[in-house]
């Protein structure tokens, strides 16, 4: 599984990354966790607001900082 956190480095983006890391840890699942900060790469996903969470190429959250529980529900 590949999980990408899209965002330019704002505090909400950092929080989403941490929440994702915690969700992986708590669920016992393993995944490649990548932070994507460059605008052209973010734009390829068509998201209009960051932070965004992408799981295996599919945008699952956009424009919000998902909680650990919400993330666990989609991984």
pLDDT digits (tens, 9 = 90+) for 7-35: 998 999 999 999 999 999 999 999 999 99
Instruction: Reply yes or no on whether 13 is catalytic.
Output: yes
Choose the catalytic residue: 1, 10, 34, 39.
Answer: 10
Measured between alpha carbons, how far is 75 from 71 in angstroms, rounded to an integer?
6
How does residue 65 score in pLDDT terms, banded at 50, 70 and 90? very high
pTM for the model stands at: 0.94
Measured between alpha carbons, how far is 13 from 28 in angstroms, rounded to an integer?
23
At the topology level, CATH places domain 2-74 in: Glutaredoxin (3.40.30)
Q: What is the DSSP letter of 51?
A: S
Instruction: Reply yes or no on whether 29 is catalytic.
Output: no
How does residue 1 score in pLDDT terms, banded at 50, 70 and 90? very high
């Amino acid at each position: 599984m590949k999980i990408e956190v899209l965002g330019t480095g704002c505090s909400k983006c950092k929080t989403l990354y941490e929440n994702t890391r915690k969700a992986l840890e708590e669920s016992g699942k393993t995944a490649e966790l990548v932070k994507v900060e460059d605008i052209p790469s973010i734009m390829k996903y068509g998201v209009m607001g960051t932070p965004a969470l992408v799981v295996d190429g599919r945008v699952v959250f956009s424009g919000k900082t998902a909680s650990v529980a919400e993330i666990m529900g989609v991984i």
